[in-house]
Amino acid sequence: MAGPAREELAALEAIFCGPGEWEVLSRSETQGTVCRVLTTAEGPSGADTPLELVFHLPAGYPACLPGLSVGSERLTRAQCAAVRDKLLEQAQGFLPEPMVHQLVLWAQQNLRHLLDPPPGSGAGPGMCAAASAAEAEGPWTTLLHLDHMRAKTRYVRTVRQWASALGLTGRLLFVGKVILLLLQGHRDRVKEYLVLQRTSTVDVDSSGKKCRERMASVLWEARAQPGHSRFLAFEVKEFSSLDELQKEFETAGLGALFSEFVLGLVK
């Protein structure tokens, strides 16, 4: 099994650390690894629905798709098959990167809409779950400073994938050597992103070897306040000057944030 797959398994063990949430069922150099994730998602009735997701990661994974089975005591066999088919469809878009966590998150976010979309709502596969009451008051917003990106193309692609899988919006901002990440969404999803950021291989070191981002830091986080923009999408933006970056923050209603936390990084 390739190095990224082994690193993903270690990260998954750290993420799904509750009783019974994670188990490696078998491991073989030739046959690959079989692992199980026990989680819950909002079902058609609005109640928590237990999901058992069993992934068979072949020896060639993540260059090839995993095998997958779906089980639940609250879903019919046909419903489990429908969830499995949609997950495998989603998996095509993650190749050739490790994808188990992204697929689990997709199932958590989309189960209700997949099985029973509200009439006339336009909801369906690929739609995120409805915003919670807390999000209605204002989404959680976090500002991170990323120390560097040596493998920029791969790193940016990974950040985009994570944000999409977690239903997060925001901005990845570049000016000179400064790299900032504004994330906005459900607080629990932002926290899950931070776990991925700290435990997954996203970059390469000075010798070209794949490595984790160990120097990323959270500069600020809080519930979005009146006057703060609610980002409708995740965008990557590069600026040629500090003034341009400042205007971006001011347009989002985050001018004070720029003055307090960003200016010191570029001086």
Task: Please list, in sequence order, all residues whose beta carbon lies within 8 angstroms of the beta carbon of residue 217, skipping any fewer than 6 positions away.
Answer: 144, 145, 147
Domain at 3-115, CATH class:
alpha beta
The tokens for 188 are 């629990």
CB-side neighbour CA atoms (13 Å) of 148: 9
Could you tell me if 189 and 236 are in contact, meaning their C-beta atoms sit under 8 angstroms apart? no
Query: Which of 165, 157, 173, 164 is closest to 254 using CA atoms?
Result: 173
The partner residues of 56 in beta bridges, in order of sequence, read 34, 67
pLDDT at 213: 73
pLDDT at 125: 36
Task: Please list, in sequence order, all residues whose beta carbon lies within 8 angstroms of the beta carbon of residue 180, skipping any fewer than 6 positions away.
Answer: 143, 144, 145, 146, 171, 172, 173, 262
Helices (H), ranges, 94-183: 100-115, 133-137, 152-166
Taken as a whole, the chain contains a residue count of 267
pLDDT in tens, the chain (267 residues): 667 888 888 888 888 888 889 999 988 888 889 999 999 888 766 678 899 999 999 888 988 888 998 998 888 888 888 898 899 888 888 888 889 998 998 898 888 877 754 444 343 333 333 334 444 456 899 999 998 898 899 899 889 888 887 788 999 999 999 999 999 988 888 888 888 887 777 887 778 887 777 778 999 999 888 888 888 889 999 999 999 999 999 999 999 999 999 988 876
pLDDT at 112: 81
Domain at 137-266, CATH class:
alpha beta
pTM of full prediction above 0.75: no
pLDDT at 254: 94
pLDDT at 1: 62
Domain extents in the chain: 3-115, 137-266
C-beta contacts of 241-248 below 8 A and 24+ residues apart: 241/175, 242/175, 242/176, 242/266, 244/175, 245/173, 245/175, 245/178, 248/171, 248/173
Helices (H), ranges, the chain: 3-15, 77-91, 100-115, 133-137, 152-166, 187-199, 242-251, 255-257, 263-266
